[in-house]
Structure 1
Amino acid sequence: MSRQIVFDTETTGLSAENGDRIVEIGCVELVNRKLTGNHLHLYINPERDSDEGALRVHGLTTAFLRDKPKFAEVADQILDFMQGAEIIIHNAAFDVGFINKELELLGRPPFTTYVSGIIDTLAMAKEMFPGKRNSLDALCDRLDVDNSGRTLHGALLDAELLADVYINLTRGQDALLMTDDAQESSTPGPQAAHIDLRGFQLPVLRANAQEQAAHEDVLAQIDKASGGKTIWRFYESNEKAVP
């Protein structure tokens, strides 16, 4: 079973290092690339006011958030929901930076120690659509994802939209996934023919220098978002250490 969590936050401002805090968390669950209906949505008392710019984005006032739980009260609930899953985030460095700061304030280890990995859909989109706008709204328009209900940013709605965007961004991978769904389906209609590929000599297409450079750039962005915890960097450093 492949379990993924699409994750989004709203915050009091743009800088966790300068004291901005999380005010809302939205998570939706995908299992084998399908929405399960299981989700987590929390408003959080940040113990400070939101900047004017942030307030215009999410509309969550200090008065509304005053009686909501503080992050320390819901940290276990958040981490339990995400435990061991692959996390999908748009602009991962931003959200991971904020949740890492919240965990640091509680004396806890970084977010990446609780999850199996992080996928940054912004990095994916930049590679697929270089030179184009790749905000969540822009991707919804480009990929025919209905975002007509999005007037203010909300963490749960944005996570739901991002789940659709991610599935559309990676739809081409479906053809590479071999499952038993077709064999188990009782739906009438023509079935795809089975072809024995052992009789074919398939060409090997090597990545060119530009493609290799783009690949390295994506790896570097993922590594940065994970705080240098990616497995390939671990093995690279170990190989260099071997005389």
Structure 2
Amino acid sequence: MREIVLDTETTGLDPLSGDRVVEIGCVELLNHVPTGQMRQYYINPDRDMPEEAFKVHGLSSEFLAGQPRFADIVEDFLSFVREDRLVIHNAEFDVRFLNAELARLGHSPIPMSRAVDTVAMARRRFPGAQASLDALCRRFDIDLSARSLHGALLDCQLLAAVYLELRGGRQPGLTLDSQAAAGTSRVVGVTRRYREPRPHAPSEAETAAHERMLDSLKEPLWRQ
């Protein structure tokens, strides 16, 4: 099964107010494990970089001015992700930004049904706990030493490891211990149809056969 772990960096929080995508990272998974195939796109947003966004990802207007525009990378991007499932941390945010960029070029939007939201997965598995990428990396003992700033490709690589753990680790089908540790085990009630007890008394023929067998024994215990 092919999936794409995906992350974006942007100039802000709202594509409808003019914020744009400035970086896209993609990591290919087969059966939930990274294959080594990945993409990283820096994108010229044709606008300034707000200071608040720069503090998050460190991508300056000067650096991005020399990068291709979204129209220049869109075909390669769509060819890489194909129609496969997208694994995204806070999927609604990234899909909304990507669809705004696609709409500007007349491309069809990415349906939310393609996205697996790892924030939602984490909240189901660890109710009440922090669900940020940093918090999940700490929970699963995933090395964060390279993450001084947000970066789409690095975050994808971290998220790929988190996603595997959220699915139960290297053996995702064996989750009983992890569920119990997380407090998510549950008792399932089963309704069974009532059955009348079956008779177990011996028949007359069986009793007679037993007596004949006892007659053939010397001082059988059954008659003492």
- Common fold, TM-score beyond 0.5? yes
Please identify runs of 4+ aligned residues in structure 1 that moved more than 6 A: none
In structure 2, the CA distance between the partners of 1:206 and 1:38, relative to structure 1 (3 Å rule), is farther
The partner residue of 2:188 within 201, 205, 221 is: 205
Retained in 2: the 8 A contact 1:143–1:165? Answer: yes
How much identity, in percent, do the aligned residues show? 52
The residue number in structure 1 matching 2:222 is: none
The residue number in structure 1 matching 2:165 is: 168
1:123 aligns with 2:120: yes
Distance in structure 2 (CA, Å) of the matches to 1:145 and 1:111? 30
The residue number in structure 2 matching 1:34 is: 33
SS of the residue aligned with 1:73? helix
1:145 aligns with 2:139: no
The residue number in structure 1 matching 2:153 is: 156
The residue number in structure 2 matching 1:50 is: 49
Alpha-carbon offset, residue 112 of structure 1: 2.5
Retained in 1: the 8 A contact 2:43–2:64? Answer: yes
| Stretches of structure 1 lacking an aligned partner (at least 5 in a row) | 178-203, 208-243
Deviation sequence 1:69-102 (CA, Å, 0-9, x none) = 0001111111110002110000000000000000
Retained in 1: the 8 A contact 2:6–2:26? Answer: yes
TM superposition score normalised by structure 1: 0.70
Alpha-carbon offset, residue 176 of structure 1: 3.1
Structure 1 counterpart of 2:106, one-letter code: G
The residue number in structure 1 matching 2:80 is: 81
Retained in 1: the 8 A contact 2:6–2:24? Answer: yes
TM superposition score normalised by structure 2: 0.75
Retained in 1: the 8 A contact 2:33–2:160? Answer: no
In structure 2, the CA distance between the partners of 1:206 and 1:51, relative to structure 1 (3 Å rule), is farther
Aligned residues: 178
Structure 1 counterpart of 2:111, one-letter code: T
Deviation sequence 1:191-219 (CA, Å, 0-9, x none) = xxxxxxxxxxxxx9369xxxxxxxxxxxx
The residue number in structure 2 matching 1:211 is: none
Distance in structure 2 (CA, Å) of the matches to 1:62 and 1:172? 40
Distance in structure 2 (CA, Å) of the matches to 1:175 and 1:71? 37
Larger-gyration structure (1/2): 2
The residue number in structure 2 matching 1:186 is: none
The residue number in structure 1 matching 2:178 is: none
Structure 1 counterpart of 2:50, one-letter code: D
Retained in 2: the 8 A contact 1:11–1:50? Answer: no
SS of the residue aligned with 1:205? coil
Retained in 1: the 8 A contact 2:87–2:115? Answer: yes
The residue number in structure 1 matching 2:210 is: none
Aligned CA-pair RMSD: 2.0
1:23 aligns with 2:22: yes
Alpha-carbon offset, residue 172 of structure 1: 5.9
Deviation sequence 1:141-192 (CA, Å, 0-9, x none) = 0111111110011100000000000000102693539xxxxxxxxxxxxxxx
| Stretches of structure 2 lacking an aligned partner (at least 5 in a row) | 175-186, 191-224
SS of the residue aligned with 2:115? strand
Deviation sequence 1:32-71 (CA, Å, 0-9, x none) = 1211100000100001112211100001000001010000
